[in-house]
Amino acid sequence: MIFIPVEEGDPPAVSTSTTRRIRGSRRRRSFDLRATAVFFALLALLLVVLGFVVRAAGAVAERRPVWTAVLCLVAASAAVLALRGRRRRHLAEHAAQQAAAALQEATRTALDALEAPAEECPRCRVPTDGTPADDRAPVDYEALDPDEFEQAVAALCERDGCSSVEVVGGAGDLGADVVAVDPQGRRVIVQCKRYGEGNRVGSQELQRFGGTCFTVHEADVAAVVTTSEFTAPAVEYAAQCGIVCVDGQALRAWSEGTGPTPWSLGHQTPAAP
């Protein structure tokens, strides 16, 4: 602030001048001599150690070239095996993914197959469309295997008005191959014997079936159907136990619609041959 002298009577005058602030200059980073010296010392030490290692390796290679080659080969093999192991892990993961996808597809296919209706044996098919008996193609029951023969007998039962027809033959069936309910509501148990020519159903087989058909399977009508014939003792035992015997001739008549059904025969049996 500057004071200017004025004459008496004049008002005092005040003059101000602008004061500029001087900014301090930025501090420059000081040079760290100690850190620089430590860095170069470590670098020099690293170079010395590296040179010593290279020199020692060269000396070993000159004295033991075979061992050097073996070591190099082992190192290369280890590197290759490591790469292969990594690749195998990727391949194993890919194979596991493919196996999981295949298992899922197989499970889906199996479930679809279980849900789909069972295919009927073409040779066991019995016409059910009202075709006249004389115009129906006869089924060659002798040409069927045992499983197909059971299916054919079940188809005959279903054709002639039975309900709840089921093929249950197999291990542990206790003599019951086909189970059905006839039009009168009676439970029908059928044992199927697909025998070749000259092999007749004997009394022992009838006795085994007679011991289970009524007591175990609770049959109202029990029948044995065969492509062959029955022996005289078998027919006698069946008559005593109330088992219906259907031989090959009666089976063909039943299939063609010219003969009675087993459940309509009641306790009657064919005459002994």
What are the residue boundaries of the structural domains of the chain, listed by start? 36-112, 144-265
Q: Give Cβ neighbours of residue 228 (< 8 Å, ≥ 6 apart).
A: 193, 195, 196, 197, 198, 199, 200, 201, 247, 248
Instruction: Give the pLDDT of residue 180.
Output: 94
Nearest to residue 165, comparing CAs of 134, 116, 124, 123? 124
More confident of the two residues 36 and 14: 36
Query: 1: which DSSP letter?
Result: -
Burial 209-236 (b: 16+ CB within 10 A, else e): bbebbbeebebebbbbbbbbbbbeebbe
Instruction: Give the pLDDT of residue 140.
Output: 85
Kindly report, residue by residue over 65-119, the tens digit of the pLDDT.
766 676 677 667 766 666 666 666 666 676 667 766 766 676 666 555 545 444 4
More confident of the two residues 9 and 140: 140
Contact indicator for 243, 209 with CB cutoff of 8 Å: yes
Contact indicator for 194, 141 with CB cutoff of 8 Å: yes
Task: Determine the Cα–Cα distance for residues 56 and 74; give it in Å rounded to an integer.
Answer: 19
Contact indicator for 179, 219 with CB cutoff of 8 Å: no
φ and ψ at 264, to 5 degrees? -80, -15
Expressed in percent and rounded to 5, the helix, strand and coil fractions of the chain are: 50, 10, 40
More confident of the two residues 128 and 125: 125
On the question of pLDDT at 202 being above 70, the answer is: yes
Tokens encoding 102 = 């295949």
More confident of the two residues 238 and 170: 238
H helical segments located in 116-260:
146-159, 203-210, 232-241, 248-256
Task: Determine the Cα–Cα distance for residues 109 and 122; give it in Å rounded to an integer.
Answer: 24
For every residue of 119-143, DSSP letters joined together read PPPGGG----S---GGGSPPP-GGG
Of 3.40.120.10, 3.40.50.10860, 3.90.1570.10, 3.40.1350.10, which CATH number belongs to 144-265?
3.40.1350.10
More confident of the two residues 2 and 81: 81
Kindly report, residue by residue over 228-243, the tens digit of the pLDDT.
999 999 999 999 999 9
On the question of pLDDT at 22 being above 50, the answer is: no
What is the distance of C-alpha 125 from the center of its chain?
A: 31
Instruction: Give the pLDDT of residue 269.
Output: 38
Instruction: Give the pLDDT of residue 186.
Output: 94
Counting residues of the chain whose pLDDT is more than 90, the rounded percentage is 33
Kindly report, residue by residue over 128-165, the tens digit of the pLDDT.
444 444 445 678 888 899 899 999 999 999 999 999 99
Kindly report, residue by residue over 172-201, the tens digit of the pLDDT.
678 889 999 999 999 999 999 999 878 899
